């Protein structure tokens, strides 16, 4: 089938719509993830979502349901454990390892088609049907609404936890809330790019965006735009060349990130110069004070 013919197919429309929904969600949540340096926690949530999905397969229920439940449980636990986001690396790692071990067991117990499990790992956007699209859309609306409502305390607790706490923001509540949102966004992204490539939508676009601007709201929008471009571009390219969609999405996403790093380095140098001109810096003080 030609590219033009494919573009007329219903399943392609569904895939593009699902991709758009997932991209907007991942891009938005991703900014907070990047600010808090919690890529590893996202990785853990997605892989343990896989464990949940594997469990669902064994029980004979919808793997997407298992994915959601698994991600949410892990998100809540990690949120409660890692209040400052960047701490407790080892805690995340320990949960991740055990959860994956359980996932391996569940897959070995599963007597159905192995491709279903493989799909979870590497994603299959063209497999999304209308009913799944409706669920994707509903979850996305919920997450974006919560994100909009909690934007300021989430940002405050992410960029400046000490001051945020002093102004009455509960760091623990924000940590749990964010990880629940991450869990939902991750469960969505898994259905497009798979467990192993979730970071390409949740981390890479946001990381690129933070290189391009110092305005938090602009960074959020840029992150969404980049995730959107990578997802839709990846889906379209996979219609032209029958390679995995996940590969194209991660390639575009990474290319934008590399360019953004370059642009960002130039911007930083300029900004650094501007700051230096605005106020000459005093020499760094030695450890012991000189009278």
Partner 1 sequence: MSGPDGTSVVELRGASLHYGSHSLWEGLDLHVGPGEFIAVLGPNGVGKTSLLRVLLGLAQLSSGRVTVLGRPPRRGSPLVGYVPQQRAFDPGLPLRGRDLVHLGLDGHRWGLVRPVSGHPALVSAALNEVEAQAYADAPVGLLSGGEQQRLRVAQALISDPALLLCDEPLLSLDLNSQRVVVDLLDGRRHRHETTVLFVTHEINPILPVVDRVLYLAPGSWAEGHPDEVLTSDTLSRLYGTSVDVLRVRGRVIVVGAPDEPDAALGAPGHAHVHRSEHEDRGDRS
User: What is the binding site for partner 1 (CB under 8 A)?
Assistant: 31, 35, 37, 148-153, 155-156, 159-160, 162-169, 209-211, 213-219, 264, 268, 271-272, 274-275, 278-279, 281-285, 288-289, 291
Minimum Å gap between C-beta 91 and partner 1 is 22
Minimum Å gap between C-beta 147 and partner 1 is 11
User: What 3-state class would DSSP assign to 150?
Assistant: coil
State which residue, 133 or 169, has the beta carbon closest to partner 1. Answer: 169
Minimum Å gap between C-beta 236 and partner 1 is 29
Minimum Å gap between C-beta 290 and partner 1 is 8
E strand intervals along the chain: none
Token pair, residue 94, equals 């320990």
State which residue, 4 or 166, has the beta carbon closest to partner 1. Answer: 166
Minimum Å gap between C-beta 291 and partner 1 is 6
Minimum Å gap between C-beta 127 and partner 1 is 35
Nearest to 27 by CA among 153, 263, 188: 188
Give the span between the Cα atoms of 75 and 41, in whole angstroms. Answer: 8
Give the span between the Cα atoms of 26 and 28, in whole angstroms. Answer: 6
How would DSSP label each residue in 222-286? HHHHHHHHHHHHHHHHHHHS-S-HHHHHHHHHHHHHHHHHHHHHHHHHHHHHHHHHHSPPPPPPP
State which residue, 151 or 247, has the beta carbon closest to partner 1. Answer: 151
State which residue, 2 or 289, has the beta carbon closest to partner 1. Answer: 289
Neighbours of 91 (CB within 10 A): 15
State which residue, 133 or 165, has the beta carbon closest to partner 1. Answer: 165
State which residue, 4 or 284, has the beta carbon closest to partner 1. Answer: 284
Residues in the chain: 291
Q: Are 236 and 20 in contact (CB under 8 A)?
A: no
């Amino acid at each position: 089938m030609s590219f033009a013919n494919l573009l007329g197919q219903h399943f392609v429309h569904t895939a593009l719509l699902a991709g758009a929904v997932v991209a907007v969600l991942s891009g938005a949540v991703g900014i907070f993830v990047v600010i808090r340096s919690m890529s590893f926690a996202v990785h853990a949530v997605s892989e343990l979502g896989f464990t949940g999905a594997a469990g669902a397969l064994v029980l004979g229920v919808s793997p997407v349901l298992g994915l959601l439940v698994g991600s949410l449980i892990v998100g809540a636990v990690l949120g409660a454990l890692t209040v400052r986001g960047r701490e407790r690396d080892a805690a995340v790692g320990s949960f991740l390892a055990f959860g994956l071990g359980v996932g391996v067991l569940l897959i070995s117990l599963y007597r159905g088609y192995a491709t279903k499990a493989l799909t979870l790992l590497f994603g299959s956007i063209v497999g999304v049907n209308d009913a799944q699209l409706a669920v994707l859309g509903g979850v996305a609306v919920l997450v974006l609404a919560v994100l909009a409502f909690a934007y300021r305390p989430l940002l405050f607790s992410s960029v400046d936890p000490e001051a945020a706490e002093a102004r009455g923001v509960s760091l623990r509540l924000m940590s749990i809330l964010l990880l629940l949102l991450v869990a939902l966004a991750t469960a969505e992204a898994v259905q497009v790019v798979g467990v192993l490539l979730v970071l390409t939508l949740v981390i890479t676009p946001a990381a690129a965006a933070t290189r391009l601007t110092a305005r938090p709201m602009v960074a959020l929008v840029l992150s969404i735009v980049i995730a959107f471009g990578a997802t839709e571009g990846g889906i379209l390219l996979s219609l032209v060349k029958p390679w995995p969609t996940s590969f194209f999405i991660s390639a575009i996403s990474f290319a934008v990130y590399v360019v953004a790093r370059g642009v960002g380095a130039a911007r930083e140098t300029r900004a650094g110069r501007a700051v230096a001109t605005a106020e000459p810096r005093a020499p760094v003080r030695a450890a012991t004070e000189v009278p």
